[in-house]
């Protein structure tokens, strides 16, 4: 049987292959020399394991001379033999060949992607995102501040590293290494830490997400360090924000209401709304609706605004009264500074303004502005059970990791948040308890 099979193979001589005319010329075992006009090629005709009749090209038949024809014929027979062996093992030569080509193509593509990733540094990715997304949508000042905060604070070892090579621990260490005095390097930003750190992380988060979308990297280390950075900052802050005991807050507010000046009113509003310092200092009239007694702090001015959106604050009657008293002082700023900027432009009060009020009241050693406005409120609300924890957190505009839950909280707690701030204002307006103990008649 083997001799019979062998007799059916290698039917063409070199001379016949070289001089063959138009048509298909069999060499046995399904191997054909196909001549079409001036071209000639080798073709293997076979039956696939599925029963399907197929033809697989084995390359060009070179027929320039006898030597070239002989080499071409030998190569075609070798390839045909390998294909027949594969068929004997249950494989399909065409599928096998296509699979190898696809594997090679994917390997080549992966190599190109890897090379591109190595060339795409964090600096290039950030500037590319800044040019495409930030510059067209932000003011020139904010746009310059956005990229400068990264350029001035990212160490060169990370800034010029491939964006796909940056690991979360290295990024966390770089951000936590930023010292307070370094904020002076960011000439376009008046932010103070940790707000600067938060904004840098948020901007890096956007850069890495964009890089993932464009297949420049596969992970987002800025997102991975969000919680770890907050934990590290909480440790740093422990004991930093001294807060006035809430039982002493009504007496303090009585003294504060008697103090004069824009800074005193700014601090009073901050206490009544449990707002962050920067949110009150930077408040503009366009954010307020005094008729509806609401204050909408834009997302870009919130500590985690890019994640949780605008924050609506419900104003109590005393808060509205404070704002009405500020009308007419400046067209834009609610609490304008009496000092103009270097270029002669009006600006809001500085960070020191409310600290100066505490100093004049003899309270600076006992509390910080942040502690007074937020920690004192939070302690009062939680210890007295004035509202559910979710409502308290919503009033404080603390970041919610779950964005769906955050949106739900902001929309569903409207009445409860308003009631909580009203209760807080009423508590602060209580007259301080007297130290005199009334005596009963015998």
Q: What residue spans define the domains of the chain?
A: 2-87, 122-237, 246-428
The mean pLDDT of the chain is: 84
**Predicted local confidence at residue 299, as pLDDT:** 83
Tokens matching residue 31 = 């191997």
- In CATH terms, 246-428 corresponds, of 1.20.1440, 1.10.260, 1.10.8, 1.10.443, to 1.10.443
The pLDDT score that the predictor gives to residue 120 is: 87
Quickly name the fold that domain 2-87 has. Answer: Double Stranded RNA Binding Domain (3.30.160)
The answer to whether 278 touches 271, Cβ cutoff 8 Å, is no
The model's confidence at residue 115, banded by pLDDT at 50, 70 and 90, is low
Q: What pLDDT does residue 119 have?
A: 78
- On the question of pLDDT at 123 being above 60, the answer is yes
Relative orientation angle of helices 66-88 and 93-119, to the nearest 10 degrees? 100
* Strand, helix or coil for residue 376: helix
Is the model's pLDDT at 130 over the cut of 90? yes
pLDDT of residue 274: 94
Give the pair of three-digit tokens for residue 275: 């707002």
This prediction's pTM: 0.47
Q: How confident is the model at residue 57 (pLDDT cuts 50, 70, 90)?
A: very high
- Mean pLDDT across 361-368: 90
Kindly write down the DSSP assignment for every residue of 61-130, as one continuous string.
Answer: ---SSHHHHHHHHHHHHHHHHHHHHHHHTT--HHHHHHHHHHHHHHHHHHHHHHHHHHH-BHHHHHHHHI
Q: What is the pLDDT of residues 237-256, one digit of tens each?
A: 544 568 899 999 999 999 99
The angle, 0 to 180 degrees and rounded to 10, between the axes of the packed helices 403-412 and 389-396 is 100
User: Averaged over 418-438, what is the pLDDT?
Assistant: 79
Mind listing the pLDDT tens digit for each residue in 329-346?
A: 999 999 998 887 667 788
pLDDT at position 307: 54
Distance CA 286, CA 41 (A): 79
Q: Looking at the DSSP assignment, which residues form a beta bridge with residue 34?
A: 24, 41
pLDDT higher at 442 or 414: 414
- Residue-by-residue DSSP string for 410-428: HHH-HHHHHHHHHHHHHHH
Residue 292 has what pLDDT? 95
**Token code pair at residue 415:** 């009445």
Distance of alpha carbon 429 from alpha carbon 410, whole angstroms = 27
Q: Are 198 and 182 in contact (CB under 8 A)?
A: no
CATH 1.10.3470 assigned to domain 122-237? The reply is no
**188 falls in which pLDDT band (50, 70, 90)?**
very low
Alpha carbon distances (Å) from 409 to 382, 412, 424: 18, 5, 20
Segment 20-43, tens digit of pLDDT = 999 999 999 999 999 999 999 999
pLDDT exceeding 90 applies to what percent of the chain?
A: 60
| Phi, psi (degrees; rounded to nearest 5) at 109 | -65, -40
């Amino acid at each position: 049987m083997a001799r019979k099979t062998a007799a059916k193979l290698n039917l063409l001589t070199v001379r016949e292959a070289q001089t063959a005319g138009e048509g298909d010329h069999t060499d046995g075992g399904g191997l054909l020399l196909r001549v079409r006009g001036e071209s000639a090629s080798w073709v293997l005709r076979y039956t696939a394991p599925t029963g399907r009749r197929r033809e697989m090209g084995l390359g060009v038949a070179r027929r320039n001379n006898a030597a070239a024809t002989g080499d071409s014929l030998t190569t075609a027979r070798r390839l045909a033999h390998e294909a027949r062996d594969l068929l004997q093992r249950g494989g399909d030569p065409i599928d096998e060949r296509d699979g190898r080509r696809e594997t090679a193509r994917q390997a080549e593509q992966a190599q190109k992607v890897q090379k591109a990733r190595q060339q795409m540094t964090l600096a290039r990715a950030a500037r590319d995102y800044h040019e495409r997304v930030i510059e067209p949508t932000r003011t020139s000042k904010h746009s310059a501040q956005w990229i400068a905060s990264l350029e001035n604070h990212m160490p060169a070892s990370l800034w010029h590293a491939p964006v796909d090579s940056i690991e979360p621990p290295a990024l966390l260490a770089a951000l936590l290494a930023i010292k307070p005095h370094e904020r002076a390097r960011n000439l376009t930003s008046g932010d103070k830490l940790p707000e600067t750190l938060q904004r840098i992380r948020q901007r890096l988060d956007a850069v890495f997400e964009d890089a993932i979308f464009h297949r420049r990297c596969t992970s987002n280390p800025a997102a991975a360090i969000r919680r770890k950075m907050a934990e590290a900052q909480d440790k740093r802050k422990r004991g930093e924000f001294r807060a006035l005991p809430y039982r002493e807050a009504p007496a303090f507010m009585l003294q504060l209401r008697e103090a004069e000046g824009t800074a005193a009113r700014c601090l009073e509003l901050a206490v009544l709304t449990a707002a962050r310092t920067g949110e009150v200092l930077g408040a503009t009239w366009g954010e307020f609706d005094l008729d509806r007694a609401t204050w909408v702090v834009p997302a870009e001015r919130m500590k985690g605004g890019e994640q949780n959106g605008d924050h609506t604050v419900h104003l109590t009657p005393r808060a509205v009264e404070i704002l009405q008293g500020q009308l007419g002082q400046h067209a834009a700023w609610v609490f304008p500074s009496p000092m103009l900027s270097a270029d002669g432009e009006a600006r809001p009060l500085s960070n020191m303004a409310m600290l100066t009020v505490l100093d004049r009241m003899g309270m600076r050693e006992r509390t910080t502005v942040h502690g007074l406005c937020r920690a004192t409120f939070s302690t009062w609300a939680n210890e007295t059970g004035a509202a559910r924890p979710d409502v308290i957190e919503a009033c404080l505009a603390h970041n919610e990791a779950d964005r769906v839950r955050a949106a739900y909280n902001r929309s569903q707690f409207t009445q409860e948040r308003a009631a909580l701030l009203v209760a807080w204002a009423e508590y602060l307006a209580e007259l301080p308890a007297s130290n005199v103990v009334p005596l009963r008649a015998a």
